[in-house]
Structure 1
Amino acid sequence: MSFSQTRHFLRKNPQIRTFRCAAADLNGQSRGKRVPARFADKVVEDGTRFPLSAMNLDIWGEDIDDSPLVFDTGDADGVLRPTERGFVPMPWLEAPTALLPLWMFRENGEPFAGDPRHALRAVVDRYRMNGMTPVVAMELEFFLIDDSGKKLTVPVSPRSGKRRKAAEVLSIRALDAFDSFFTDLYDACEAMDIPADTAISEAGLGQFEVNMMHQDDALRAADDAWLFKMLVKGIARRHGFAASFMAKPYEDYAGSGMHTHFSVLDYAGKNIFDDGTAKGTSTLMHAVGGCLEAMYDSTLIFAPHQNSYDRMVPDAHAPTGMCWGYENRTAALRIPGGNHKGRRIEHRVSGGDVNPYLTLAAILGAALNGIEDQTQPPEPIRGNSYAQDLPQIAGTWGDAITAFENSTIMPRIFPKELIRNMVLTKRQELHYMAELSATEQVEIYLDTV
């Protein structure tokens, strides 16, 4: 971002007196500072500084006890610089405010390997070196929740004044019940240049889904998802209730996912998954094979929290078996139908509680491994995957941490430093979460993830 762009933004928005500058840590939490607008040029020119360890905090925002980023190295600073995104408004705050997204570098200018955005950038660079560009879109599910009492429930509709305790799949009535919220949300997406497409009501209590448009910039797509999660939670609070992307706030209802659709373009802009038929190319098969091969070891990325594993149970609209199929929503990987020109893979494993940068890196990195290795997948499944004898996704948080730590596949996708930091973070969270009741765990995850 240049000085002229900074000054243009501030001249165009003289009402903005302060801005936030922030980066996403391993849990996808925004870490940063509040800065008076008159010092914007300094942040753009010199960046800002905070400890490298701030990118590697646990879900409570605490240091990792045995992290080499803390006392072993004197808790040294890194330098955070603006991303290509530049300033975006923060419409959920009362005072006019902007956000300047950042990413972390070391003092010598090298990208900090523990920054999740740099991890995704490295995967995208691998595609570029092979003359390929991934095209991605995400579907983000979330719950609107009244958390003012002892028990979570659906909010009162601003239109009817009633509280309808029912799951309503694809219900226009459910959308209309919170029309003022969705109107403000879509106006805010326009202001922040987040490409929000359709919204639907989902199968959970007060659950909705908003789809993002496909785009050929994976970093921007992850930025959009990160910003969208902040936006949804902020707008909901302005309307007097909570919004949460936690995987499963209600025991008796389906949880929230973050499904990722992707295809790959060659140097000429052709979709290399498309062969003009419903089947797809051999390259599509290789990408499917790579995703399946890496799925168990990358479960921790797709299910990073204690609550994540409550969602991943049979017959709950979340995949448990490592499989793929055509137009099959019980499979972990679905090949959607429709126009062959849009042939793509839908990766359905992730919960709504994930870090979008790490999730996209894990999915795209695994697919590229498969393309490079020409990995052959098993036969596609038909029918209900839950009723079939299939290899299973890691079923517990502890198993997922161990698989991620010991994997020979993950170092092809993620830097060793990030793998180490992630494992240390999750082992610390696993230890302290075991001391809490289920209610206390929900209280922590409700607003954070």
Structure 2
Amino acid sequence: MKNWLRKNPHVRTIRVAAADLNGQARGKRIPTRFAEKVTTEGTRFPFSVLNLDIWGEDIDDSPLVFDSGDRDGVLRPTERGFLPMPWLETPSALLPIWMFHEDGRPYDGDPRHALRAVLDRFKARGLTPVCAVELEFFLIDDSGRNLQVPVSPRSGKRRKAAETLSIRALDQFDNFFTDLYDACEEMDIPADTAISEAGLGQFEINMMHSDDALRAADDAWLFKMLVKGLARRHGFAASFMAKPYEDYPGSGLHTHFSVLDQNGRNVFDNGGPEGTDLMKNAVAGCLAAMPGSALVFAPHLNSYDRLVPGNHAPTGVSWAYENRTSSIRIPSGSSAARRIEHRVSGGDVNPYLMLAAVLGAAITGIEDAATPPAPVTGNAYEANLPQIPATWEAAIDAFETDPLVARIFAPELIRNLVLTKRQEVHYMQELTPEERVIIYLDTV
């Protein structure tokens, strides 16, 4: 880390930041000349900072605040090290950090530690998950009263139509995407294919598969930060909110994963299209934990506008082969690449909690040798299926009490997230729909 700063003497300021439960970056700005102290000693801020609501306010009844004296945690750099921040005018670097107790124990309320704990369960069985995420987002002109597609920098026109897999739509914003890929290269974010999606000004960028799920979550968290910041430099907004436009599909964050054994073999591969029993155990675990984990996959009020039947987002608990109407899809293709696609999450999730929920459910299914129901065929929206909670309030209640959630997440994290979301429910009820959009547009 010290060498990085020496090799980049043009960097003038440092940000140290951790992800809170909503995926918001919380931290400090530090002059470069004092950065070495952070790399060796870490920094400190209150445990409660990782448990703020979407407005950045304390949780009224949280035991982390007044009841405990608002004690500090110790935040240390993650293995990622320093990263450039190409969306800022001033040459700056970001140092991702995560939270520990004074005695060195990981803080259970830190979402990155939640994912690490799940990965420890895989490691104990000699297994390694390999993950990739697909991130959908909108480019938006939010300068007026109503959200709309930005004016094309090339044509000067505003095309108000869906542009599914349109090369023209990508070319209209070529400068933005060129800068975005250059920035991903600088930050070592493995951005792969870009496509235009079915929403107004909606796009998707896929990440390359990684056998380090913590790094995959880092990449998704950093990518969201980068896209939003870079869009502002180009004169418009970018948003990962689940459903900015009522009449068009929302944004998802689909996750693909397989699992390797100690010899590097994909344990989901049986040489054919159906996959192994171990894959089906993982599918069963994902299905069983899906209702209780809905709060992680749909964490905000706006999230539930996306989860409606027939709108390119799953609503029933199901799995299928090569079927995008189901919540779990087994893609076709080479058996060596046999994998599970988890399709429930919106673009507005915290990537650390999302991957912890998906992989935690999968390893629970493997540990229990669980058996899934029969895969669905045809239109899953028309099947008689168990349902994912359809409201924010129902998802909060399910997350708080589900025994499978309790096997994935620490009690402190469950308590903190439930308190956070109940406070947000209360205050969101006081806002107009327009005010809610303003909150979600830039935060999630």
Same fold (TM over 0.5): yes
383-392 or 419-428, larger mean C-alpha shift: 383-392
Shift of 1:437: 1.1
Q: Following the alignment from structure 1 to structure 2, what is the Cα–Cα distance between the partners of residues 208 and 202? A: 5
How far 1:34 moved relative to its partner?
0.3
Moved over 3 A (4+): none
Structure 2 partner of 1:296:
291
Identity %: 73
Which of 252, 257, 260 is residue 252 of structure 2 equivalent to? 257
Structure 2 gap ranges (5+): none
Residue in structure 2 matched with residue 158 of structure 1 by the alignment: 153
Structure 2 residue aligned with 1:442: 437
Answering whether residue 308 of structure 2 is matched by residue 280 of structure 1, we say: no
Matches within 5 A, 1:322-333: 322-333=317-328
> Match for residue 382 of structure 1?
377
Q: 1:399 aligns with which of 376, 394, 400?
A: 394
Q: Does residue 36 in structure 1 map to residue 31 in structure 2?
A: yes
* From 98, 102, 119, the counterpart of 1:103: 98
CA deviations over 1:23-55 (Å, ceiling 9, x no partner): 000000000000001111100111001000000
Q: Does 1:203 align with 2:198?
A: yes
Quick one: which amino acid aligns to residue 370 of structure 2?
A: T
The one-character-per-residue Cα deviations of 1:88-146 (angstroms, maximum 9, x if unpaired) are 00000001000000000111111110000000000001100110000000000000000
- Displacement of 1:60 in angstroms is 0.2
Aligned-residue RMSD, C-alpha: 0.5
| Distance in 2 separating the partners of 1:344 and 1:142 | 24
What is the Cα deviation at residue 415 of structure 1? 0.4
**Partner-residue secondary structure (3-state), 2:403:** coil
Please tell me the residue identity of whatever aligns with 2:215: R
| CA distance in 1 between partners of 2:217 and 2:381 (Å) | 30
Q: Deviations over 1:385-415 (max 9, x none)?
A: 1111111100000000000001111111000
AA matched with 2:418: V
1:192 counterpart (161, 181, 187): 187
CA separation in 1, counterparts of 2:157 and 2:9?
A: 41
Q: What is the CA deviation profile of residues 35-85 of structure 1, one whole-angstrom value per residue up to 9, with x for unaligned ones?
A: 001111100111001000000000000000000000000000001000000
Asked whether 1:24 is paired with 2:19, we answer yes
**Which one of the candidate residues 316, 323, 332 is aligned to 2:311?**
316
Within 5 Å, give how 1:51-90 maps onto structure 2. Answer: 51-90=46-85
TM-score by length of 2: 1.00
Q: Unpaired segments of 5 or more residues in structure 1?
A: none
- How big is the shift at 1:336? 0.2
Residue in structure 1 matched with residue 166 of structure 2 by the alignment: 171
Specify the alignment match of 1:138 in structure 2.
133
Does the residue aligned with 1:73 lie in a helix, a strand or coil? coil
Equivalent residue number for residue 232 of structure 1: 227
Number of residue pairs matched by the alignment: 444
Between the aligned partners of 2:91 and 2:7, the Cα distance in structure 1 is 13
Q: Distance in 1 between matches of 2:141 and 2:396?
A: 33
- What TM-score do the two structures reach when normalised by structure 1? 0.99
Q: How does 1:398-437 map to 2 (within 5 A)?
A: 398-437=393-432
Q: Give the SS at the match of 1:72.
A: coil
- Whichever residue aligns with residue 258 of structure 1, its letter is L
